[in-house]
Amino acid sequence: MTNHISVVDALSTKLVFVGPMGAGKTTAIASIADSPPVSTEMPMCEPPVGDKTSTTVAMDFATVRIEDDHSVFLYGCPGQDHFEFMRPILLQGAFGAIVVLNGADPDIVGQSTYWARIVTDFDASLPMVIGITRTDEAHQFDLITVRRAMRAHGISAPVFTFDARNRQQTAQLVRALLLMLD
């Protein structure tokens, strides 16, 4: 099956997932996409997070068809710092960004402002939703402190906890983003 997609539509329906490696970007994209994302997975050269032995080095790509000839393009930005140059390339022309973070990270507060700032530094008016995974496993997870830190950085994006493996929960992030565009 081939998709006929015009360039204009391609620019206007791009959604980008950013965040550190192991947070759940690829999983989130896979949860809502029509087919498994095309990802460039490579063995990691940095210390592994949990049992993860591979991570996305270049990017993830997948589509969500919205009508016969229209698709939303989902992109996952590589998490590692040395792929920083990829972020503005992928964010360019997106209608929104979803920041995916690992709630089990002891520095979740620092991580959330760090990654949200990457998006707002690129474009302060770009609609953004923060999604935090693994809060089921992290008993000390503190949403209120994350919210407070975001506010201190002048960021008013919704902060949602979710399970990237769950389609409904991942879709909630997209819904919130769409409501911000309305």
Ligand X SMILES: Nc1nc2c(ncn2[C@@H]2O[C@H](COP(=O)(O)OP(=O)(O)O)[C@@H](O)[C@H]2O)c(=O)[nH]1
Which residue among 15, 16, 18, 55 contacts ligand X (CB under 6 A)? 55
Counting contacts by CB under 8 A, is residue 35 touching other proteins?
no
Counting contacts by CB under 8 A, is residue 122 touching other proteins?
no
Q: How far is the CB of 111 from other proteins (least distance, A)?
A: 17
DSSP string, 128-148: EEEEEE-TTT-TT--HHHHHH
Measured distance CA(148)–CA(1) in Å, rounded: 47
Residues 39-98 touching Mg ion, rule: CB under 5 A, are: 56
What residue 24 binds from ligand X, Mg ion, other proteins, none (CB within 5 to 8 A, per partner kind)? ligand X
Output phi, psi for 87, to 5 deg. Answer: -60, -55
| Radius of gyration, CA atoms only, the chain | 16
- Which residues have CB under 8 Å from 78's CB, separation 6+? 21, 55, 56, 57, 58, 59, 86
What residue 142 binds from Mg ion, other proteins, ligand X, none (CB within 5 to 8 A, per partner kind)? other proteins
What residue 23 binds from other proteins, ligand X, Mg ion, none (CB within 5 to 8 A, per partner kind)? ligand X
Counting contacts by CB under 8 A, is residue 147 touching other proteins?
yes
